[in-house]
Amino acid sequence: MMRTRPLKVALLGCGVVGSEVARIMTTHADDLAARIGAPVELAGVAVRRPSKVREGIPQDLVTTDATALVKRGDIDVVVEVIGGIEPARSLITTAFEHGASVVSANKALLAQDGAALHAAAGQHGKDLYYEAAVAGAIPLIRPLRESLAGDKVNRVLGIVNGTTNFILDKMDSTGAGYQEALDEATALGYAEADPTADVEGFDAAAKAAILAGIAFHTRVRLDDVYREGMTEVTAADFASAKNMGCTIKLLAICERAEDGRSVTARVHPAMIPLTHPLASVRGAYNAVFVESDASGQLMFYGPGAGGAPTASAVLGDLVAVCRNRLSGTTGPGESAYAALPVSGMGEVVTRYHISLDVADKPGVLAQVATVFAEHGVSIDTVRQQGKDGEASLVVVTHRASDAALGGTVEALRKLDTVRGVASIMRVEGE
């Protein structure tokens, strides 16, 4: 039997995502009520500009006093889609204190203060759900923390930022330079006027912290994630990648060490083989590849951003939280029992593609090979092209630690025959 008294929802933020959440709550009200077992009612919408006309939202629901809204005491669920650290953090903790569960899409806040927010939710016996914080509409958080709760996840490898994937895909498919591809992304609305958070990897790093924490049952903060942007990727890098049967993606990589005693989380551009499923992810789409003991390899794919896709994830969480509310239970909270140490980038082991500008004369290759050998880095392939006394030397290594590779490059720079290091890129996905 359906409960007639509605569950009341407070919406914090009514931008691209928030307006879609409100629209879906209104247009799909009957379906949502049937799925939950009670109607849901939009009880208030906190905004910064109350005078703006918001289609489908009665003006009497609009307020600029978000704190008063979450303190009302009759609110069952607070949906937070304002982003940023403050006032979002204070509003969420206040919501818990006044009896509401929370659905959030705030990746930056969760990556920085997820442990404290989970603790506050647990203290007050409330839910904290955040499927929309990573990869938009793609169901990923719930499968990791619920569907794979009985499995051991070893690696999460993914494209989690649509803007950067669009830019790199455009560079790959058309031969465009970075700035040209960024300009097109901006014109099409895929990139913000200030794209720094995307192209420098900050957005992906926050998502990597969240994914690593859930996958490895370990607290991973944003500061634990190695981050490298993709603004230095060139058309020449793509040409080299194609020669290797690869393409280039900005990847979030979270993995358990081979001995199982530590984890790493990192974001950086990398070459991946064209045969890898992530290589075929085009445009502004996202995809995440999960490797675990029992399930093997799983791939989650779909639109990773945008109003409607992100709102879909928010509404999925809203339904789950409302169901819990009706049954008097809460869903899974933080699982950090493993408490594994998070290793630095120096301990990461992978393959490398190094492009050197060298003198075109006998003995150069032997000198370079000697440096690699002295630092314990094994060479897989070498390609050299020369003209008029100058040459390009491309070295692809076998697996080596980042620390060993760093020492190798430092020594290479000291050789008289090495004019410069044109590029260094990791090779992943094999």
Separation CA 9–CA 32 (nearest Å): 13
Separation CA 12–CA 93 (nearest Å): 13
Q: Do residues 144 and 118 lie in contact, with contact meaning Cβ atoms separated by under 8 Å?
A: no
Q: How many CA atoms lie within 13 A of 331 on its CB side?
A: 24
Cis peptide before 195 (omega within 30 of 0): no
Q: Sign of the C-alpha dihedral, residues 14, 16, 19, 22?
A: negative
**Listed residue (353, 370, 376) closest to 414, CA to CA:** 370
Q: What are the respective helix, strand and coil percentages of the chain, to the nearest 5?
A: 40, 25, 35
Q: Do residues 81 and 103 lie in contact, with contact meaning Cβ atoms separated by under 8 Å?
A: no
Q: How far is CA 111 from the centre of its chain?
A: 10
User: Which residue matches tokens 């669009």?
Assistant: 166
Report the Cα–Cα distance between both ends of the chain, in Å, rounded: 53
Three-class SS of residue 428?
coil
Burial 112-136 (b: 16+ CB within 10 A, else e): bbbeebbbbbeebebbbbbbbbbbb
Active site residue 207: yes
Q: Would strands 153-159 and 40-46 be described as parallel, antiparallel, or unpaired?
A: unpaired
Separation CA 164–CA 166 (nearest Å): 5
Crossing angle of helices 162-174 and 235-243, in 10° steps, is 70
The catalytically annotated residue of 207, 242, 249, 361 is 207
Distances in Å between the Cα of 245 and the Cα atoms of 108, 238, 340 are 35, 10, 36
Distances in Å between the Cα of 168 and the Cα atoms of 62, 182, 274, 284, 285 are 41, 9, 14, 10, 12
325, amino acid identity: R
Q: Where are the alpha helices (DSSP H) in 42-161?
A: 66-70, 88-97, 107-123, 141-142
Separation CA 176–CA 396 (nearest Å): 25
Active site residues: 207
